[in-house]
Copies of this chain bind each other. A is one copy, B any other.
């Protein structure tokens, strides 16, 4: 948690409704931080199903290993998350720590260790002493209340400057169901996996394999399309819990991924995932601007995404944005280095509605004054037309400021 809140923070937070079957409690366990909560326990009614997407890092944290082991079971009763220590690269001690926490959480909840899910976020490489908080779990399970979603989002923050929350509703059959989600993330944010920590819950009765399909498809254009610094975490965990409580109100149970009744739910879920993902980018370490980069006219959507990420991860593009400089030459550079088909002489580039480059040259009609005014905005849109095909992709990022360097030259000490 930083002393200064991102200028891109939301002006107000949504009122988070209860999700029937979910209870939340948080505590100050003093794992690393003082005078703030750092422990979250979320319990789920019996019958809750679960899906998840985890980091593809070759060096995953111990809790990621733990979740990966339990996800195939598809059943969840309790989630324990701590901030301040990632329990990553902690070897045998890390596994012991997740085993102790898993057993304590299972005992407290009256479930199997296979129904426990864990996540940790914070410093890498420090052993996490489960003894610091495992004795708190029974009390937290008992104390859980359904209206604590903002507290949950606060307890999992590290360098975040604000909590990330979203709630949406959808119709399933004739019944309105709710999806709530929280996320944390600010640095070590890069796509191509479920980035950062995010926990989503719904009262919809949806079978675990269907949940998994929805989530795996949903991350592509949301969490996997954002980047703060191109650095991929060892701890990325996105879990999706469905309590099924809405079945009592008449919601149909969905067991087939192709069930047409899922259409509205899918759209609502994707809207929530995109909202959470963009909230992460808007809280990117040191960020002063949110940047949406759209590449079109590429050979394929995959190619467009790779070019868009090449632009979004370029330090030279990101520092130019911080300097409010419409330096489209650096966009050309980033297109050129992406290793994807591109033809310099067909390339066009827009900042907002200002076309700066057209078919391989500076646009003669381009107005420096209008573009400069545009660059002062908090939200910047960059659009690139490759001019070769119909592939299109959008990614989100933030600028690279001196504050990013300050935060990260000084985080561990």
User: Least Cβ distance of A150 to chain B in Å?
Assistant: 29
* Pairwise interchain contact B409-A234, C-beta atoms closer than 8 A: no
Q: Which of A28-36, A68-76, A260-268, A322-330 contacts B (4 or more CB under 8 A)?
A: A322-330
Cα of A333 to Cα of B410 in the assembled complex, Å: 17
Contact of A60 among B86, B233, B328, B344 (CB under 8 A): B344
Q: Which of A365-413 contact B (CB under 8 A)?
A: 400-402, 404-413
* Pairwise interchain contact B124-A333, C-beta atoms closer than 8 A: yes
Cα of A330 to Cα of B59 in the assembled complex, Å: 11
A135 within 8 A of B: no
Task: Tell me which residues across on chain B come within 8 A of A47, comparing CB atoms.
Answer: none
Task: Tell me which residues across on chain B come within 8 A of A190, comparing CB atoms.
Answer: 337
Task: Tell me which residues across on chain B come within 8 A of A408, comparing CB atoms.
Answer: 315-316, 319-320, 323
Task: Tell me which residues across on chain B come within 8 A of A231, comparing CB atoms.
Answer: 314-316, 330, 333-334, 337
Task: Tell me which residues across on chain B come within 8 A of A404, comparing CB atoms.
Answer: 315, 319, 405
A216 within 8 A of B: no
* Pairwise interchain contact B229-A325, C-beta atoms closer than 8 A: no
A132 within 8 A of B: no
A188 within 8 A of B: yes
Cα of A345 to Cα of B413 in the assembled complex, Å: 25
Q: Count residues of A near B (Cβ-Cβ below 8 Å).
A: 72
Q: Which of A177-185, A240-248, A272-280, A353-361 contacts B (4 or more CB under 8 A)?
A: A353-361
Cα of A105 to Cα of B232 in the assembled complex, Å: 50
Do A336 and B232 contact each other (CB < 8 Å), given the known contacts A91-B345, A402-B402? yes
User: Least Cβ distance of A32 to chain B in Å?
Assistant: 13
A127 within 8 A of B: yes
A187 within 8 A of B: yes
User: Least Cβ distance of A60 to chain B in Å?
Assistant: 7
Chain A interface (Cβ within 8 Å of chain B)?
Answer: 55, 57-60, 86, 88-93, 123-127, 187-188, 190, 229-234, 313-316, 319-320, 322-323, 325, 327-330, 332-345, 347, 357, 359-362, 400-402, 404-413
Q: Please name 21 pairs of A and B residues whose Cβ atoms are closer than 8 Å in the assembled complex, sorted by A.
A: A57-B337, A58-B335, A58-B336, A58-B337, A58-B343, A60-B344, A90-B361, A90-B362, A93-B361, A124-B330, A229-B315, A231-B334, A232-B333, A319-B407, A320-B411, A320-B412, A323-B411, A325-B411, A325-B412, A400-B405, A401-B409
